[in-house]
Amino acid sequence: MAIHSTHSAYDEPETPEEISRRRFMVNAVITMSGVIGLGLAIPILGGVIPSQESGSGGTWSPLTKAEFAELEAATQKPVKLSFAMSAKDAYLPEQTLQDYVWGIKVDPSRFRASRTDIFNGPGEKPDVPYEVANMSLVVFSPLCPHLGCRYNWDSNTGRFLCPCHGSVYDLEGAHLAGPAPRGLDPLPLREQDGTADVMWIRYKSTTPDRIVISYQS
């Protein structure tokens, strides 16, 4: 019995020229994919990673005079301070958002001794590029340094409590318990002509170091 075999173009051996051409096409596709990916990554990262000049480029948002007066009068409890924040990026138009911070009145020397995660030692500068206690007042970011949840003030215990994973902070923002890697993050505060302004800064969570993620634009 004669056995017949069928052949297709795929069974024919490739010539060196065909092999070289195929390799060239594969390498060209890989190279173009990398270029396109890099082109997309640059603007995306540019919108996420703050520039080195962002510290001086952030904008200030005013507190109301009533809130500023309440903060100045507060002694044994924090004050929840609302403000309007402008937000924009490369993909969405500018928006005005309402947010809040927590403010406290402090004794500067006591605050320095309590917040060793900010002031590392006598005479040393804080680990943030601005004055932390201004006019004997301090404002804190409302985001827990653990994973960015919003904590609350509990008047019964006299503590800031995070509902997500149980981190606990005292009135001056010092970390007392729970998984948070540092105390509450202070924000810039300034006084001008009887009013107060605050600047929003978002710090990286889950790390003992204060690494800026973004500033209010």
Can you give the residue ranges of every domain in the chain? 9-48, 58-215
Q: Which of 46-50, 130-134, 207-211 has the lowest mean pLDDT?
A: 46-50
Give the per-residue pLDDT at 215. Answer: 83
Q: 18 or 189: which carries more pLDDT confidence?
A: 189
Identify how many contiguous H helices and E strands the chain contains and give both numbers. Answer: 4, 13
Rounded Cα gap, residues 198 and 178, in angstroms: 28
Give the pLDDT confidence of 136-178 residue by residue, as tens digits: 999 999 999 999 999 999 999 999 999 999 999 999 999 999 9
Adjacent-strand bridge partners of 198: 61, 189
Q: List helix spans (H) across the chain.
A: 16-48, 54-57, 65-73, 108-114
Q: 158 or 25: which carries more pLDDT confidence?
A: 158
> Going by C-beta distance under 8 Å and a sequence separation of 6 or more, which residues neighbour residue 174?
114, 115, 116, 117, 183
Prediction pTM value: 0.70
> By C-alpha distance, which of 196, 174, 198, 172 is closest to 187?
198
Average pLDDT over residues 108-125: 82
CATH architecture of 58-215: 3-layer Sandwich (2.102)
CB 207 within 8 A of CB 213: no
